[in-house]
Amino acid sequence: MDRVQRRDFLIAAGAILAAPLAADAQQTVRIARVGYLATNPATSPHLRDAFFKGLRDLGYIDGRNVVVEIRDAEGKPERFPALVAELIALKVDVIVTTSTAGTLAAKQATETLPIVFAVAANPVPDGLVASLARPGGNVTGCSLLLPELVGKCLEQLKQVVPGVRRVAVLWQPGGRGESTDRDMVRAAEVAARTVGMSVLVVEARDPADFDRAFLDMTKARADALTVLTSATLIGQRNRLVELAARNRLPAVYPWREAVDAGGLMSYGPDLADNYRRAATYVDKIVKGAKPGDLPVEQPTKFELVINLKTAKSLGLTIPQSVLVRADELIH
């Protein structure tokens, strides 16, 4: 056999031997199974899309090396325990949650299966983790620091609408952990007094309460509105924006999605970024990291977004000092 023939023989033999090895390698690719516990993705599909984009950016392809099992509570928190049980029965590697109520339901169901929350208002007081730096247990994720955010929202509102004397604070009892609910209402009351406003606390346990809540605001002669975040309220942002416009109430929201829907202004972290970052936790856990060793991430950038068209419809002139600080102006 001459040199050329021998070379061709070795290449062919190598290809034959490599073929089964390649097939075996493909067969041994580990498929990560991820449970996604949704509160109501129909109202905020872009947030779920952000999580999936985060997975794709990390090299995960649905059906090839990851399978995401989605369970949707359809806005009914009482369904969380049963949905968590379904995900556990499917033997997922990790459960991603999208609300404090969902995270608490998952934590109550398992002390061993890793849980990643894409958003949590106040994870330590709500009992999700032991501390932000060292969560401990089987839960970690991305926080929103909401009690601190309430005061900042009211400060921004006062600068945009200097004449506000009484601000309505709309909240959903049970929308977060009990401790956070209490802290957020208290923060609103303290912040309002600091900037010379009185507070009218108005509750809405579900969307059926919205009309009554806004009627209460009108009767009490509220000058403006702020909304304390919850999964239900952000999901109902279009209706809240509509009711605020109908009652001519300048409103500040903790999520920019409300401004995109026509709300006056928002101040808060980028929720979609939280969902993208949740994918990085999933990646680390699938590769062997323990959730209790992964610090809870806090938002590092807060954005002020103002809808100038809405301001004009309310007869408001936004001060130049505020316009230059805004991260985005919607015309």
pTM: 0.81
pLDDT band at 1 (very low <50, low <70, confident <90, very high): low
Share of residues in the chain with pLDDT > 90 (%): 66
* Weakest mean pLDDT among 56-60, 77-81, 172-176, 269-273: 172-176
pLDDT greater than 50 at residue 48: yes
* Contact criterion met (CB below 8 Å) for 93 and 34: yes
Which runs of consecutive H residues, i.e. helices, occur in the chain?
3-27, 45-57, 80-89, 100-109, 146-160, 178-194, 210-219, 231-235, 237-246, 256-260, 271-286, 308-313, 320-323
Instruction: Report the mean per-residue pLDDT for the chain.
Output: 88
- Give the pLDDT confidence score for residue 147 in this predicted structure: 66
- Give the pLDDT confidence score for residue 16 in this predicted structure: 43
C-alpha distance from residue 98 to each of 39, 106, 122, 177, 226 (Å): 6, 11, 13, 14, 22
- Give the pLDDT confidence score for residue 200 in this predicted structure: 94
pLDDT greater than 90 at residue 250: yes
Phi first, then psi, for residue 203 (nearest 5°) are -105, 150
Pick from 1-15, 23-37, 170-184, 310-324 the range whose average pLDDT is largest. 310-324
* Contact criterion met (CB below 8 Å) for 305 and 78: no
Domains of the chain, CATH where assigned: 32-144+271-293 (3.40.50.2300), 146-268+302-330 (3.40.50.2300)
Distance CA 152, CA 188 (A): 9
pLDDT greater than 50 at residue 11: no
Distance CA 328, CA 331 (A): 10
C-alpha distance from residue 75 to each of 98, 116, 151, 231 (Å): 12, 20, 28, 8
pLDDT greater than 60 at residue 270: yes
79-99 confidence digits (pLDDT tens)? 999 999 999 999 999 999 998
- Which residues face 72 on adjacent strands? 38
